[in-house]
């Protein structure tokens, strides 16, 4: 009836004409991304040492010149990424939709169309991974050893601690801690209220305190993040094992796999329970460090800590 099932076999086996166009698109797409990747790599490898040098040389308090160049570099990298994304939409996805609507899903050749899209999208993902990699490398140029800056602040404090004399009576004044804002220091002899203005370096302590505390407790954060990753790894291992049971009929092997799976699940459940605990340990340690660096901000920091625990 209607000859629906009498299609000649020959027409199914011959590669259709339009396939050449798909192949060409795919090849062009692959070589285009290769070029973009090379461009990205070249740009990033040139930019990274420049950025590092700039961070060292930038004498602005907030390293603003560095940050301007840093955003410029990121912008350029992003342009390359967007170019890839736009081309993907324009040259791959639209071609795919065009043929997808023309060729029936029942056709033997339909898989050529979906393979085309899968190959191209896998290649695009590989490109995106490379982008992420370079982006992270560029992010790393921002890291600097804050301990050095902290030591500078501490030694500056040591030198000014006993330096001042009361402006009224000349009696010695002692600054008893690192102040972050202007404050009254009363003279122990004549009770006059002197106004102490901290130096720019001293004030900057509050800007670096959190990052310094994070640097000091980075190992705890890593422990927590590893526990989170472990849960996913165990899940995938469990899943692979469960798939392996599908075609297995040997009972003793099945039993063995079952035992292994149960063990993995136990470890996974432990990781799920343990991760929030490790997070709390990290946060507590980080805030303790922070409070040690700037004790005056403790009350405020503790509120933030309690807030952060909720999420």
Partner 1 sequence: MEEKKVNSFLNRLKENAQKQSNYGGETENTDAQMKLKDCPNCGAGRAKQDGVTHCAYCGFEFLSVKLTDGMYIKKEDNSL
Q: Would you tell me which residues interact with partner 1 (CB under 8 A)?
A: 39, 42-43, 46-47, 50, 54, 60-62, 64-65, 68-69, 72-73, 76, 156, 160, 163-165, 167-168, 173, 175, 179, 181, 183-186, 190-202, 296
DSSP 51-111: HHHHHHH--STT-HHHHHHHHHHHHHHHHHHHHHHHHIIIIIIHHHHHHHHHS-TTSTTHH
Tell me the closest approach of the beta carbon of residue 180 to partner 1, in angstroms. 9
Closer by beta carbon to partner 1, 53 or else 269 = 53
Q: What is the closest distance, in whole angstroms, from the C-beta atom of residue 133 to partner 1 in the complex?
A: 18
Residue 186 CB, shortest distance to partner 1, in Å, is 4
Residue closer to partner 1 by CB (options 22, 80) is 80
Task: Label residue 145 left, alpha or beta by phi (over 0 means left) and psi (-120 to 50 means alpha).
Answer: beta
> Which single residue is written with the structure tokens 């929030």?
276
10-15: long-range contacts, CB 8 A cutoff, minimum separation 24: 12/108, 12/109, 15/109, 15/112
CB-based contacts of 254: which residues, under 8 Å, 6+ apart?
245, 248
- Select 187 or 213, whichever has its Cβ closest to partner 1: 187
Residue with smaller CB distance to partner 1, 183 or 274: 183
Given a contact cutoff of 8 angstroms between Cβ atoms, the answer to whether 258 and 277 are in contact is no
Task: Output the smallest distance, CB 183 to partner 1, in A.
Answer: 5
- Comparing CB distances to partner 1, the nearer of 197 and 269 is 197
Q: State the nearest-atom distance from the C-beta of 307 to partner 1, in Å.
A: 20
């Amino acid at each position: 009836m209607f000859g629906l099932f009498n299609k000649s076999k020959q027409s199914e086996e011959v590669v259709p004409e339009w396939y050449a166009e798909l192949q060409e698109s795919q090849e062009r797409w692959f070589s285009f991304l290769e070029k973009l990747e090379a461009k990205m790599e070249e740009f990033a490898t040139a930019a990274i040492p420049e950025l590092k040098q700039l961070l060292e040389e930038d004498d602005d308090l907030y390293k603003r010149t560095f940050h301007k160049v840093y955003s410029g570099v990121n912008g350029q990298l992003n342009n390359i990424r967007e170019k890839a994304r736009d081309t993907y939409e324009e040259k791959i996805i639209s071609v795919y939709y065009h043929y997808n609507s023309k060729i029936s899903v029942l056709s033997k050749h339909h898989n050529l169309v979906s393979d085309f899209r899968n190959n191209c999208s896998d290649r695009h993902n590989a490109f995106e991974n490379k982008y992420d990699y370079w982006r992270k490398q560029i992010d790393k140029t921002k890291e600097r050893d804050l301990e050095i800056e902290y030591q500078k602040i501490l030694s500056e404090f040591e030198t000014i601690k006993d330096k001042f004399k009361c402006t009224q009576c000349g009696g010695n004044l002692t600054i008893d801690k690192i102040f972050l804002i202007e404050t009254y220091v009363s003279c122990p002899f004549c009770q006059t209220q002197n106004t102490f203005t901290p130096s720019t370096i001293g004030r900057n302590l509050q800007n670096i305190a959190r990052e310094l505390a994070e640097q000091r407790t980075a190992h705890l954060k890593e422990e927590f993040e590893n526990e989170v990753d472990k849960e996913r790894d165990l899940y995938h291992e469990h899943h692979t094992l469960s798939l392996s049971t599908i075609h297995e009929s040997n009972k003793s092997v099945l039993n063995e796999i079952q035992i292994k799976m149960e063990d993995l699940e136990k470890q996974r459940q432990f990781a799920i329970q343990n991760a929030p605990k490790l997070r709390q340990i990290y946060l507590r340690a980080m805030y303790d460090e922070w409070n040690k660096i700037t004790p005056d901000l403790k009350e405020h920091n503790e509120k933030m800590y309690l807030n952060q625990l909720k999420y």
